[in-house]
Amino acid sequence: SAVISQKPSRDICQRGTSLTIQCQVDSQVTMMFWYRQQPGQSLTLIATANQGSEATYESGFVIDKFPISRPNLTFSTLTVSNMSPEDSSIYLCSVLSGLNTEAFFGQGTRLTVV
């Protein structure tokens, strides 16, 4: 399985500011995803991070709010822009492993917006 390093692990941010979360994988992977997990809830897919092209966003998520970069096959960033308290959540990076399509997760970023 891939080793995924995600940082920061947690942060407390002021409303109106932006936070960029980084995800580094120890091997090249085709599929990388960003999820959000609100308190007491399951995982909701934000977008698929595509290498060399714009991310594919799920319904309810837009690029202006959650810009994503994927400069190569081992790295991606998610920015949470113009934050409000409603953005307080855990954000998770995930990669798919090979043909088995098993997904593995980073440690998550616990974001609190005050």
Q: List residues binding other proteins (CB under 8 A).
A: 1, 31, 33, 41-45, 48, 92, 94, 96, 100-108
Residue among 75 and 104 whose Cβ is closer to other proteins: 104
Closer residue to other proteins (CB): 14 or 42: 42
- d(C-alpha 111, C-alpha 114), whole Å: 10
* Cα 9 to the center of its chain, rounded Å: 12
Rounded distance between C-alpha atoms, residue 114 and residue 62, angstroms: 22
CB of 89 to other proteins, least distance (A): 13
Closer of 17 and 102 to other proteins (Cβ): 102
Structure token digits, residue 63:
């690029």
